[in-house]
Each structure stands twice: as C-alpha cells, then as structure tokens.
Amino acid sequence: MQATHPLTRPLPLRQLPPEVLGTDEEVSALASLAAAGLPLGSVVVVPPAVEERFYRLNNLPALLKDVFADVDPEDPDEDDVEDATPAAEALVRQHYMLDEFIDDFYQATARLPGMVRVRRPREDGEVAARGRPALLALKRTYQRDWSYESVWARLGRQRAIALEARPVLLHDADEAAASAELTRGAGDVLGYPVALRITKEGAIVGAQRV
C-alpha cells in the first residue's frame, strides 16, 4: 500500500518535514531546542493538513456554512451563535477519520507512554490513554473549536467563523516542573522567555513563549 504523504499523517517531531515545522511557533521551538542539544521528549505532531483533509473529505466547510447561515460575521448576535454551535460541534463529532489515518495514528503514537496529553500548541488539552482514547481526544480537540466560546472568540479576532487549521501535539502526560537552568538555556536558544513542559525524566515536551 502506498505510504500516506507526511503532511497528512502524524509523525514524531524529529521526523517532521520543514513545511510542518514552520506551521507553528511552539513546534518550531521544540525542533530548535532539540537541534541545540537540549533534551527533547517523545512528541508526536498531527499536522494542520490532517485537519484540513478531515474537513474537506467530509464536506464540512459547506455543512458548517449552512449551520451558521443566520450569523453575520460583521455584526454577530450572541444568541444566533449560541443556537448554531451545538449543531456545529455535532457535525465534527459525527464524521469519521479515514482508516489509513487511524492506522498511521496508532503507529506514530505506539511508543508514547500509556497516558498521553493531547493538546493544541499553547493549550493544556486533555489527558487520555494511548490508542483509541487518544484518537477520540484528537476528535474532541477539533470539536472544541466549534464551541460557543471558541466561535465567539474567533468572530471577535477575525470577523469570520471559519477556523485556521493548527497542529495537535501528543506527549507524555506525566509532567514535572522545569529547572531554572533548563528554562534559561531554552530561552537563550530561542531568543525569548519561555515556559517549558518537561517529563518526570527531564525531557522537554512543550515550549511556550511568555
């Protein structure tokens, strides 16, 4: 069977092509820290193209446009948004990932610990068991972008309902506090102050600008 294109399948961060590394500041920061010799933990990245493909193959852009037909992005009414978002969340929840993606997902995450954190960059996300629970957590991550709070915030920022696809990170859920020395070293590499997520073993799995 032909391999899935690397832009549309989850991969360990160390194997990401440059096109994916450049899609998000935190993903790029983690790669830079690893290149500088700082300890990087096991991080699997689901690229934005996976989300775009999920929406496109399920015809979700057109379906979601119909759901929000009564919402004027230039002058949105809170009640109209609140009325529409449950149906939007249901659309995302009810549609399926491709079998080939599911196989790739299980393969890419097979070496992660038993409990993983599934999150957008700069967010806490949720903790789930590796395997199918983590896959469902990925779907819930996409679904949360259609909650009332997310849609209303998006309208306030960009006067649009459509979202911009973003990566999702999966890594060890068992985290500890980063040492001041490691945090300073990471900040020196990146050129800006940073808050780190690290595993109990001291490996970096997150790096957020502060």
The predicted-structure confidence for 117-148, as pLDDT tens digits, reads as follows 999 999 999 999 999 999 999 999 999 999 99
The predicted-structure confidence for 24-80, as pLDDT tens digits, reads as follows 999 999 999 999 999 999 999 999 999 999 999 999 999 999 999 999 999 999 999
- Look at residue 41 in the predicted model and tell me its pLDDT: 96
The predicted-structure confidence for 25-37, as pLDDT tens digits, reads as follows 999 999 999 999 9
Q: Contact 101/50 with Cβ under 8 angstroms?
A: yes
Place of tokens 């852009």: 61
* 104 contacts: CB under 8 Å, gap ≥ 6: 4, 9, 10
For domain 6-209, the question of CATH label 2.60.40.1930 is answered with: no
Give dist(CA 12, CA 135) in Å, integer. Answer: 16
pTM: 0.92
- Look at residue 29 in the predicted model and tell me its pLDDT: 97
- Look at residue 19 in the predicted model and tell me its pLDDT: 83
State the virtual CA torsion across 115, 120, 121, 123 in degrees, nearest 10: -80
Name the token pair of 171: 């890594």
- Look at residue 6 in the predicted model and tell me its pLDDT: 62
Name the token pair of 192: 């800006």
The predicted-structure confidence for 7-30, as pLDDT tens digits, reads as follows 789 999 999 988 888 889 999 999
